[in-house]
Amino acid sequence: MYCRHLALANFRSFVRLDLELPAHLGVFWGENGQGKSNLLESLYLLATSRSYRTSAERELVNWYVEAEPAFARVAGEVVRRHGLTRLEVVLAEPPGAAPAPPDRETPRAPAAGQPPLASVRRRVRINGQPKPPAELLGHLNVVLFSPLDVDLIAGPAEARRRYLHITLCQVDHRYLRTLRRYQRVLLQRNALLRGLRERPARPDQLGYWDSQLVELGAELTLAHLRAIALLNGQLRELYPRLSNEPAPLRALYRSTVPLGDDLAALGEQAGSTPEGRDEEVLGRLREQFSTHLESIRPRERQQAVTLAGPHRDDIGFCAGDVDLRLFGSRGQQRTAALGLKLAEVGLMQHYTGERPVVLLDDVMSELDPRRRQFLQGVVVEHEQVLITATETGVFTPAFLGDAAVYHVQAGRVRLESAP
């Protein structure tokens, strides 16, 4: 798959952009602060309906926009085996938001000490038809690597859980539905636990929510185990060449529910497990989850929160026997994060039969010459790769010869050379 056309209006630093994207390699270079990362962010928004750089979506709307109410629009045309899909996301201030300043040189951003501007509302269209934002997932699959992704290895567990959710939601709509149901059940169960802490309760009050949590949690856990196994299959080949070290990189699923060695190893059978075996495995997962909930119920009643389940699980990354989160150098963590992202390409292809669009944001500046050359040799085999850099000298002549090269300056994009 690839995105053949991108149109932006009032998105970050881009007042207006209509850009034909290369079907294979695209290099976007320019000084920092010119809008290179904004381009990749807009494609990520089309794929996931969210930004990877901010949760405050008002920041995505150009502060100097003259329209009333202020809005940003991102639209793209995605080519896949089954045909062409047109995607559009509009972020608009609600009616009655602060009016635009009379002078365009004055931004709409709030002054120091002033309250923030109004948030924005998202509207999504797929092939011209209004759709809920969640339906955007799966039409454009992307794998993004940015300097922030080192936190996948070294940062909090929440970042790794979010990574799994975003990856699997792009390729598996059943997973998305299950995740949303699980999150609703979790909210209800936690609310009940808070109430039970304040007053006596019948023993069966948690029964319904426990059964729902177990049912949905088992499905999510199975999906996570399989995803980890697929990633490990890719990492066994990729990481030693990327790191130039013999020790393999392994992702380890750390469940808050004791699974036992046989269930923890289930993911290794992901590619060969017959479909009919799912129910047997899910039954064993449900049994383990239910038993564990019973054992921790007094603590949950005391703390008024659900203490076990996929919402608290984590992923560890080990190079050989070294836990990279605890003992890895910054360079090792960065290399592991890049290896994980390259492995994600293979995972998505396994689920969809198509290679996702690869977005690499300023990755070359973080790598030594050997790793740069290896990375260029790997990504040149993918269908569409869009990569940003502050200079073109970090690329090999052969790579640049195969790529469309663009210069990005002050929110404008100019094609310098075509393959």
How confident is the model over 184-211, as a mean pLDDT?
Answer: 85
Domain identity same for 319 and 359: no
CATH number at residue 243: 1.20.1050.90
CATH number at residue 366: 3.40.50.300
Domain identity same for 214 and 317: yes
For residue 342, tell me if it sits in a domain. Answer: no
> Where in the sequence is the domain holding 17, given as residue range(s)?
2-141+354-417
Task: Among 325, 341, 365, give the residue marking a domain's end.
Answer: 325
Comparing CA positions, the residue from 55, 223, 230, 52 lying closest to residue 143 is 52
pLDDT at 281 over 70: yes
pLDDT at 68: 77
How confident is the model over 139-154, as a mean pLDDT?
Answer: 93
Residue 13, phi-psi category: left (phi > 0), alpha (psi -120 to 50), beta (remainder): alpha
Lowest mean pLDDT among 202-216, 275-289, 319-333: 275-289
What lies within 8 Å, CB to CB, of 164 at 6+ separation is: 224, 227, 315
pLDDT at 271 over 50: no
Domain identity same for 209 and 111: no
Domain identity same for 163 and 297: yes
For residue 312, tell me if it sits in a domain. Answer: yes
How confident is the model over 259-263, as a mean pLDDT?
Answer: 69
Domain identity same for 286 and 392: no
pLDDT, mean over the chain: 88
Under DSSP, is residue 266 helix (H, G, I), strand (E, B) or coil?
helix
pLDDT at 347: 95
Q: What is the distance between the terminal CA atoms of the chain, rounded to a whole angstrom?
A: 19
Domain identity same for 266 and 410: no
For residue 339, tell me if it sits in a domain. Answer: no
Domain identity same for 316 and 207: yes
Instruction: State the sign of the Cα–Cα–Cα–Cα dihedral 408, 77, 57, 163.
Output: negative
How confident is the model over 197-202, as a mean pLDDT?
Answer: 71
Q: What is the widest separation between alpha-carbon atoms in the chain?
A: 73
Express as a percent the part of the chain with pLDDT over 70: 89
Count other C-beta atoms under 10 Å from residue 375's C-beta.
20
How confident is the model over 315-322, as a mean pLDDT?
Answer: 92
Under DSSP, is residue 357 helix (H, G, I), strand (E, B) or coil?
strand
Q: What is the pLDDT of residues 327-379, one digit of tens each?
A: 999 889 999 999 999 999 999 999 999 999 999 999 998 888 998 999 999 99
For residue 197, tell me if it sits in a domain. Answer: yes
Domain identity same for 366 and 244: no
Place of tokens 């994060």: 337
More confident residue, 391 or 110: 391
The tally of domains found in the chain comes to 2
pLDDT at 241: 86
Q: What are the contacts of 204-213 at 24+ separation with CB within 8 A?
A: 206/297, 209/185, 210/290, 210/293, 212/181, 212/185, 213/182, 213/185, 213/186, 213/189, 213/289, 213/293, 213/306, 213/309
Contact 374/244 with Cβ under 8 angstroms?
no
For residue 345, tell me if it sits in a domain. Answer: no
37-46, 52-61, 258-267, 365-374: which is most confident: 37-46
pLDDT category at 93 given cuts 50, 70, 90 is: confident
Domain identity same for 166 and 117: no
For residue 392, tell me if it sits in a domain. Answer: yes
Domain identity same for 49 and 195: no
pLDDT at 254 over 50: yes
